[in-house]
Amino acid sequence: MKTNKMILDDFELFIKFRIGTGYAGYAMNYAKRYAQFLYSNYGNEEEVTEEMLQEYLKLHPHNNHNTYANAIAEIRTFSKYINQTGRKAYIPDKDYTYWKKRTEFIPYLLNDKELKMFFDHLDSYSDKDLYERRANRKVVFPILYRMMYCCGMRPQEVLNLKTIDVDLAFGDIYIRKTKSYRDRHIIMSSDMLDLCHRYMNLHVSLYHDYFFDKPDGKRYTSDDLYYCIKHFKKKTGFNTPNFRSYCFRHMFATENLIKWINNSEDITMLLPYLSVYMGHTDIRHTLYYIHLLPEHLRKAAKIDCDLFESIYPKWGYDI
């Protein structure tokens, strides 16, 4: 089965096809940028989903209707071509026709009661809840989501994690080819390390190339995480729309900030460490989490943005 690792080859064939049908000289730069995004971020996926398109549009906002309309038109044409080759790719429908100003997505942060409810739900998975071919989800998902929550990892980082990159002797996780194209190492807590040891003893696999693998050795996908959250909402009646798998990374960041504030620690000194741990290339991405805190904690944090600007004047300094 072809994956999105072949998407750039698909794009080159797509351009040749268009030239052959009379569109010579039209570069399709928006579609090319989209193909590069899919290759870099979803290379192991076998199809292109609407969620991938939405993530791309969030990262590449357009300033007016004309550029947005041109981008959607190119992406739509390219997606149709992918489908014609026998692969599945979401084709933007009419809802994507008109440009809308980008609105900031506010993630939903679970409180302690809701967090317990979520993990109780995962821990209570039974074979009755799942198709037989998915039976090992009851072993995999409780650990996978705890790793996202306890280590602040992006969903794709957890899904792409290789067994050889998890050092169960020292608790070191080696994260390859991150969203920012930089590798990094992070250290698990002792509790998380203990869970990983128990997971490896329970999870029987003939392959184990991926740390979190399916019975056939393939990695889990973003669609699997989407359906996990959907299953949780259906079973519990938890209908908050802004709750998704990525929220566990946000919770990791905000809970660390809250702990530091409650301990009267200097947030200005600690933020760069959090930024490096989470794999941010721009400290503004870490400062974003300050805005997710309750107002009284934001005031208590006393973040001096002018001071940060004087220390990191280009904002993109690799800290």
Q: What is the pLDDT of residues 116-126, one digit of tens each?
A: 999 999 998 77
Reported pTM: 0.66
Q: What is the pLDDT of residues 279-305, one digit of tens each?
A: 887 777 788 888 788 877 777 766 665
Where b means 16+ CB within 10 Å and e means fewer, 154-181 reads: bbbbbbbbeeebbeeeebebebeebeee
How far apart, in Å, are the Cα atoms of 184 and each of 104, 276, 312? 28, 9, 21
The pLDDT of residue 127: 57
User: In the block, which residue shows the tokens 């399709």?
Assistant: 28
Q: Check the CA dihedral 145-150-156-158 and report its sign.
A: negative
DSSP 293: S
Residue 97 to residue 75: CA distance in whole angstroms: 12
Bridge pairing between strands 166-167 and 172-175: antiparallel
Residues 6+ apart with CB under 8 A from 238: 114, 117, 232
Provide the 3-class DSSP secondary structure of residue 261: helix
Percent helix, strand, coil in the chain (nearest 5)?
A: 60, 5, 35
Tens-place pLDDT, residues 232-257: 999 999 988 889 999 999 999 999 99
